[in-house]
Amino acid sequence: MDSQLNILAVIGFKGAVLDSLILHPDNEHIIYPLGSQIVIRNVLTREQRFLRVLFYIYIRAIIMI
């Protein structure tokens, strides 16, 4: 049986990866890496969403679009 844990929320940001905390152009979301996940947090509602990624470069490309 292959079971998987789902992330409900995260707390904290260390900032060890340079230029990794990004404010989205809509000024409502911050985006940052956390292990193999990307956290997207709405600063107004505090809602968090998570993307599973393999490489940080892909996320930078998505954010720039």
For 7-35, write each residue's pLDDT tens digit: 778 877 777 778 889 999 999 999 988 87
Rounded to the nearest 5°, which phi and psi values hold at 39? -100, 130
Q: What is the pLDDT of residue 27?
A: 95
Return the closest-CA partner of residue 63 out of 7, 10, 47, 51: 51
| The three-state (H, E, C) secondary structure of 6-20, written as one string | CCCCCCCCCCCCCCC
- Residues counted in the chain: 65
- Work out the pLDDT band at 6, boundaries 50, 70, 90: confident
16's tokens: 């060890």
Look over the chain and give the mean of its residue pLDDT values, rounded to a whole number: 80
Of 56 and 35, the one with more pLDDT: 35
Spatial distance between the Cα atoms of 23 and 29, rounded to a whole number of angstroms = 6
> Side chain identity at 57, as an amino acid letter?
I
Q: What is the pLDDT of residue 19?
A: 84
